């Protein structure tokens, strides 16, 4: 069992997050190598561009290291919509509410910046059933379903939540 001490949230990425995010995303066994590479790429872009990047992060850390993270950002061209790009929790930490806590903390940050809507894209594949239930439990509702968007029988479901 990993250490389960107090978990702290941190917004500002540091260089070590690139490797930590890659390890965490791969440790879930949920994402493809290509998806893990995209997750790393977003950290790299944020490290390179700083706050000018459209990718914001929230890292959940315990003594043993990174336990989960969320990546979100303002939708270009929208005055008040944000996209949730990634939310990942260490398998050893799942089922303890860390995902909900991360999402709630990201929503607070978005609301403080004037955000009114949050969107999260997910796949319609059976593998994503727990993901869909997670969003619904967190107050998101399905706003669109684009059949076969990612691949045959792999549609895109857009979940949305209204803030405030």
The count of residues interacting with a copy of itself (CB under 8 A) is 23
Q: Calculate the alpha carbon distances from 151 to 84, 130, 148 in Å.
A: 21, 20, 5
Give the start-end residues of each E strand in 90-140: 117-123
Stretch in the footprint of a copy of itself (CB under 8 A) among 51-59, 95-103, 105-113, 137-145: 137-145
Cβ-contact 55, 71 below 8 angstroms: yes
* Smallest distance from a copy of itself to CB 120, Å: 12
158 near a copy of itself, rule: CB under 8 A? yes
Tokens 């000018």: give the residue.
52
Q: CB nearer to a copy of itself: give 59 or 119.
A: 119
Of 2, 28, 144, 153, which one interacts with a copy of itself (CB under 8 A)? Answer: 144
Residue 29, CA atoms < 13 Å, CB-side half-sphere: 2
Tokens at residue 90, please?
Answer: 């260490």
Residue 23 is given by DSSP the state H
Residues 68-107 as x/- pattern, contact with a copy of itself by CB under 8 A: -------xxxxxxx--------------------------
Q: Calculate the alpha carbon distances from 122 to 36, 84, 102, 114, 149 in Å.
A: 16, 10, 18, 24, 11
52 near a copy of itself, rule: CB under 8 A? no
Q: CB nearer to a copy of itself: give 16 or 144.
A: 144
Give me the residues that bind a copy of itself (CB under 8 A), please. 34-35, 38, 75-81, 116-117, 119, 143-146, 148-151, 158, 160
């Amino acid at each position: 069992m990993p250490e389960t001490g107090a978990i702290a949230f941190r917004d500002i990425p540091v260089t070590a997050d690139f490797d930590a995010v890659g390890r965490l995303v791969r440790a879930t066994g949920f994402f493809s190598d290509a998806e893990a590479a995209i997750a790393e790429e977003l950290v790299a872009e944020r490290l390179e561009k700083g706050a000018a990047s459209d990718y914001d992060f929230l890292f959940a850390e315990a003594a043993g290291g990174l336990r989960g993270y969320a990546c979100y950002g303002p939708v270009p061209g929208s005055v008040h919509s944000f996209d949730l790009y990634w939310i990942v929790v260490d398998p050893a930490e799942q089922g303890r509410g860390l995902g909900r806590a991360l999402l709630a903390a990201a929503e607070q940050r978005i609301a403080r910046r004037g955000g009114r809507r949050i969107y999260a894209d997910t796949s319609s594949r059976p593998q994503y059933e727990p993901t869909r239930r997670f969003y619904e439990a967190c107050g998101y509702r399905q706003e669109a379903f684009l059949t076969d968007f990612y691949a045959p029988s792999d549609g895109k479901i857009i979940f949305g939540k209204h803030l405030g």
